[in-house]
Chains A and B, each alone.
Chain A
Amino acid sequence: MPDTRERRWRGLDRLDARNKAPRSLFIALLLASATLITLDYQGGPDSAMEPARRAVGEAFGPVESVTAAVVRPFTSVPSWLRSQGALSDEIRDLQAENSALRNEVETAGFDRNRLESYDGLTQAAQDLGQALVPARVVAFGPSQSFSNTVTIDAGSEAGIGPDMTVVNNDGLVGRVLRVTRSTATVLLVTDTESIVGGRVGSSMEIGFVHGRGTLADNGGLDLRLVDDAVVPAEHDTVVTWGSTGGPYQPGVPIGEVTEVYSSLLETSQRAVIKPFVNFSALDVVGVMVPTGTTSDRAVVEADGALR
């Protein structure tokens, strides 16, 4: 009898030792996490974690691209059911044409003002003379991480570098944060960290467009105008203000004003912008690169030709 009892105790003992999470290891890992956070937070854009990010990105990027390519036929099944074969092609063409026309209308005010404004035709031609590198979105950052970022399947080999403007045929998508050889991470304009210089197309007033961190269609963006005397009108189009050194190219449509708030406490007007881009269904995007960039794929030149 004592024998069996002892064996049972020993057994329990062993199980106990296996189950008990070792406090020392737990605390060591907590400290390691805190160290990572401190390193990354203090370092900012050139933190010690950037090389690690890049290395992990080089490994995960191609895997994400392949996975996205594998699941794409399945995720597009619903649209196949709605519109088969040629019909779906036709709809896509019409949608592209529609977007192009809408863009033209949206930026008409801005363009007219632009032509009249001092920097003139040549500057506008230079600014808009951008080539596009086409890419597809292969991975989305989860909303649980409270940031709106995506991975695209074009990287430094396609001629993409940090701070380049990313658009699709509806308007501004975001900017490139960092690149690996075959992928790039894009910060969407809806991210709470994202601030874009915006200009109201009809009045040429400038302001800053802040992301609100949500992908919901009505979530939108916030526009704060620099001049608090100006009230943007509803349905005014907002385009990027842009600068030669900064990340965003000028004249890219961002969205339209849906609501305007002004309060005595706030020093500037706050308008809610509904983005033209549907961020929860991003697929094909273009990265604006200087003309003549060497790329591993066909580049859409400023005049619409493929190169």
Chain B
Amino acid sequence: MSRARVLVALAAVVVALVLQVSLFPHLAWQGIVPNLCLLVVVAAALTIPAPSALLLGFAAGVALDLAPPADHVAGRWALALTVVAFLAARVRQDVRPTAVAVVATVAAASFIGTSIFALTGLLLGDAWSVAELLQVIVVAVVWDVLLTPFVLPPLMKLFGRLDPQRMTA
């Protein structure tokens, strides 16, 4: 992975994170916002080589865990987004994924990612009922799926253009 690609990928994560905490709360439903960082990780896992995507997932998770105003136990989003990157990279085929496949991947990734985060919270002693958790998870999935048509195609094009093996192909 060249230096330019690392920079572009990290820049995408930073932009996603800042928009997620500073812009989207104004449009949020009960504070639930689209998880743009997760969308970036899924887009990367569907285009760039799997090892880089895994590392990007971990880095995006750590950023979500540490950037203000985060106050949960650090490492929980890192765990969730690493798993998301791993699963999305497994789903991917080398043909160009269809729109339906991308949306389905995002929905599954969002459900699994948010669920892992919620479950680690339960393990660490958060006092939430399963019904409340499920409500948040479902709204989060809907948000992520709604934003997919606007966010995923440009991101995948961006990451795809930076992929040297794809460029020569």
Q: Which residues of A contact B (CB under 8 A)?
A: 15, 18-22, 25-26, 29-30, 32-41, 49, 52-53, 56-57, 60-61, 63-64, 67-68, 71, 75, 138-151, 177, 180, 183, 185-187, 191-193, 213-216, 280
Closest to B63 in A: A56
Known: A57-B66, A75-B26. 20 other contacts (CB 8 A): A18-B49, A19-B92, A21-B51, A21-B54, A33-B61, A35-B75, A52-B66, A53-B68, A56-B67, A64-B68, A139-B68, A140-B25, A144-B35, A144-B114, A146-B72, A146-B136, A147-B72, A191-B71, A192-B127, A214-B30
Collect the chain A residues with CB atoms within 8 Å of residue B73's CB.
37, 40-41
Partner of A25, one of B17, B51, B128: B51
- Whether the Cβ atoms of B31 and A71 lie closer than 8 Å is no
Partner of B74, one of A52, A60, A67: A52
Collect the chain A residues with CB atoms within 8 Å of residue B31's CB.
140-143, 148, 215, 280
Collect the chain A residues with CB atoms within 8 Å of residue B120's CB.
37
Partner of A60, one of B17, B50, B58: B17
- Whether the Cβ atoms of A30 and B82 lie closer than 8 Å is yes
| Cα(A37)–Cα(B30), bound, Å | 27
| Cα(A64)–Cα(B24), bound, Å | 12
At the interface, yes or no: B140 with Cβ under 8 Å from chain A? Answer: yes
- Whether the Cβ atoms of A142 and B20 lie closer than 8 Å is yes
Per DSSP, chain B at the interface is helix
Q: Residue-by-residue, is B104-139 near A (CB-CB < 8 Å gives 1, otherwise 0)?
A: 000000000010011011001011100011001100
Closest to B110 in A: A144
Q: Residue-by-residue, is B47-67 near A (CB-CB < 8 Å gives 1, otherwise 0)?
A: 001110111011001111111
CB proximity of A251 to chain B, nearest CB, Å: 26
Partner of B76, one of A37, A151, A213: A37
- Whether the Cβ atoms of A149 and B71 lie closer than 8 Å is yes
Collect the chain B residues with CB atoms within 8 Å of residue A146's CB.
72, 117-118, 121, 126, 128, 133, 136
Q: Residue-by-residue, is B79-93 near A (CB-CB < 8 Å gives 1, otherwise 0)?
A: 100110110011011
Collect the chain B residues with CB atoms within 8 Å of residue A37's CB.
73-76, 79, 120, 124
Partner of B71, one of A19, A139, A143, A177: A177
Partner of B82, one of A18, A33, A64: A33
Collect the chain A residues with CB atoms within 8 Å of residue B19's CB.
67
| Cα(A20)–Cα(B126), bound, Å | 35
At the interface, yes or no: B18 with Cβ under 8 Å from chain A? Answer: yes
Collect the chain A residues with CB atoms within 8 Å of residue B85's CB.
21
